[in-house]
Structure 1
Amino acid sequence: MTPSDQTFQRDVKRTLLRYTFGPVLLLVALFFALVGASWSYYVVMRSDEVRHLAAEVLDETIADYSARADLAASQNYDPDILRTNASARAAVFQYLYHEVNIDKRGTQFFLLDRKKQLVLGSEKALPPALTDVPEGWGVLARFEAHPETVHAEFLRRAADESSSQDLVIGRSLPHGNGYFLFLIPQESLQRSIRSPYLDFVLTDSYGGTPLATGSSYHPAAGHPQTEKLSADIASANRQTVSYGKGLYFVTEEALQEVPWTLYSILPVTDLIGRYRLGALILASLLLLLLPVLYHSVRQESLARAHAVKEEEQRATAMAEIRRLESQFQPHFLFNTLENIRYMVCLDPQAASRMLLALSGLLRYSIRGTSRLVPLAEDLTYTHHYLEIQTYRFGQRLRYQEQIADELSHALIPRLLFQPLLENAIHYGESADGTLTVSLTIRPDGPNRLTVIVKDAGCGMSGEQLEEIRTMLQSGDDSSAHTGLCNIARRLRLLYGKKAGMSIEAPPAGGFCVTLHLPFQEESEERIHAQNHHC
């Protein structure tokens, strides 16, 4: 494998990586970015926002009722007076009834004496959780242990372990005269924090679950308050956990007023299923599109590489054409300069004309404006060449020219005739010393023209003719016929198979070179510009 082939393969691989795998990776990255943004907004941010709002509601509720309980207890109610004084009892009842009905929660209130008997309340009887309690146990015992502090606990409505739990907030009366407490129904708390997006579970200081919303977390047949929080849920803060038959995103937040923790539980089974379905669809599309993209980019890369290679070949051909155009036989220059040196002494005016003709010819040979020129323009400089040769050979040179008038604007390769005429003059000397050379240019159908250069020299043998033909076919210009090789090479570079060159050596003598060229005419705009310039 050549270095150029290796470079080409590296370019193809680089192009494939850039235009095939690059967009694929970008598409995959975009998909995961959208999934990440969706997860961040609909799962993480929503869980944090709604959970924090629910925690604030619970904290405000506990703080509000704690303040009310503290205020009511500080009134120093005497249970014995309230039992006997109807007006005092009515005033206290009206005040407390107003307090519990402010927020429409269905909150109950109870005022007990030191023997834990009901003095007055919103209900005629105490909840079973406050009566069926052994001495030294329960919330009232904790009121006694810390008489100056407001306590908040959840109490069951009935002795049944599966019953709902209501929130109790209260404290002891001054001087141990009794107890005052509010009882907030569980349903009221559930309504205050319920969300259409996610569920909540509240754990108390004992690890129980006295409050829950929604249906995501049911550790005991629909009664979350009967068991402690699942270890999987409790340890999955800001994580996705598998619980039961579903997947849940869990966050937690500690309440400020009490040592309880609120957990948000967001079902994400369906969302993750949609993500997986989207990933499956994307993978399927990529599996279908990747071969198409690969083939398309590969074809484009090959076409681009082929175009680059053609451009390199064209550049090489143009360089070769410029080199061939700039070639002159050294002996022609040396002989011309030598003749000019002699003519300076014999005929200065003739020497001056020879110098002008030579300078015009040299200037034309190195001018790199265009590869193709009008036939009339190239003939002008061909005549400069013939003028120089006429000064060299004098009357011995006999030149004839037959050119169709309609071909004056035909485009031909620059310096096409000079090498052919130089070859004819060099090898066309007859036995009597004359040099007879002819140039014929004629149309050959609507799209071709023919150029014929003949001489009347001694000719050549069949072996020599075949040798020259082989040389022209192979492109080897190491022989003495450099001019012919030059023309053949330029025609191949410029026209490819559209042009041809043939040589003949008739038995009677002489040598004939025939060129067949595509007919291209100079544009009317250029003709008009040249005429206007003239």
Structure 2
Amino acid sequence: MKSNQYKDYIKKSFIKYALSIISLLFVLVLLFLLINVQWLISGFNKRNHIQLSGILDQQFLLYQQGLTQLSQSPDLLTALDSTDSAVITANNRLLYEFANAQTIRSSFVLLNQNGRIVSSNLFAGNQEIFLDSDIFHRMTSQMQEQPEKIFALPSRLNYAHGQAGDFILGKAVVKEGVPAGYLFFDLLDSNLYEIIRRYPLDDVIITDRYDNLIFSISRQQTDPMDKYPSGKYRMDWQEGNVVKVNGKHYHIQKSSLPGSSLILYSLVSTEYQKNLLFYGFFFMLTVAILLVIISLPVTEHITQKNLLAINELQNSIEQMGKGNMNYRLRSQVFDEFQKLDDAYRHMVMQREELLTYNSELSERKRIMEIKQLEEQFNPHFIFNVMETLRYEIMIDAAKASDMVQSFASLMRYSIHYGSTIVSLRTDIEYINDYLLLQKMRYNRRLNYHIDIPEELLEYRIPKLLLQPVVENSLVHGMKNTHSISIAITGRVHEELLELCVEDDGSGIDGERLASLRAGLESEDEYKEHIGLYNSHRVVRLLYGPGYGLSIESQPGSGTRVIVTMPADMEEDYV
């Protein structure tokens, strides 16, 4: 037969779970590294590219708008033909404020139609370089042909004193439809570099639409004296958004700047992530193998540790099965097992108490029902009923029929051993039949009144609860008195059902009343008022120590017995 030991199950389970966790961690780490290479780099590059392109495009648009507005400024037109130093100074201030207000600052040059510099922030030597450059001659020639258009070219002028530019924009200053001068803004390379380096990108490349290189971080770092190569700049595209630059692979993002004819490239190196993925794979593989090797002795140790606590718990249960409720687990047993042992011990003790309570409850119910049978089958009682019935048949046949029906109901209810809990309506009907027959027996000596509100009749009470109380009033209340009146009432107060049986009989003196109350609270059977004691104990056993019978009495003034229990319409009690 195949072994089904818990020890083997723990070993197999631990190894299975350990291997599952190791495999899951291995896969998750590899997925993380792969996502880091493929998605995180791509998303990181894309976000920075979008932000950078937004700034650059905004700057180009601002410069174009500024050129358009400034070329139409009356102050510039006045300065082109003026030799007044105040006018020129004011014009210089206007151009300085515009250039310095931009995120990417620039150098500016304003020339008249004759090629004379009217305003500029370039050093004298750099002004000569500008005037001698091919860029100047080409752009002014184009402006003369198309004075309303803004022209832009890569700036290849190697200015000194940190005034080197990357991209130059220019427009003709028109007067009466004819170019009267020329305005240029050359975006400073140092300022453009500072803006771009705020973004954690490995390289940023800007070209025009003809692939002419305008800006490159890597070129500026490696060759600051001759940063732009002649000719075209072309990308060595690999698979997907990957390019190869100087033997290294980069993830690249490309976009055109709508405000200009420029193209922006942003590059993030993938070399580090590839190495991380490669070495991470072998590292995790090594760790996984070591963990599998270590898990074997660890499994054995954990199994023994767990079995120690389980064996102790098993021994404790066996001892409790033998009746030894004082056996305790060892101190080193885990708290959870200690709590389980305490809970099981508490459950066993509760079960024993419940069995004792149920046994006593059943016995009390049996005694009450037998006593009712003995009372109802008492020869004198039956004789009186039959004798009265004989006369009533001759006098009033309808009343005699009611008496027979009441007597039959009384007998049927007494010998019925069905439900322990019945509705108040059922028990009151029984009491009514019982008192009706007793009325025939005692005639004018007995008067009774039952006043139970209709809404209370569906509440559940123990069977034969009130009959012993009513019988007690008849037996003891009629001593030393000619007649007795019994009133049965009920009410619900603060979720408690209170049933009251009150008589105007002889009452009970103080000493006997104290003895009676003490007898009801005694655990031993109270012999003198066995009926009251049984009813009290049944209520206590069913609902708890807070409920039961209370007795009030004065000698010569009658007795009141109040039965208190939970107001409940459900049969929830055993």
TM-score, L = length of structure 1: 0.45
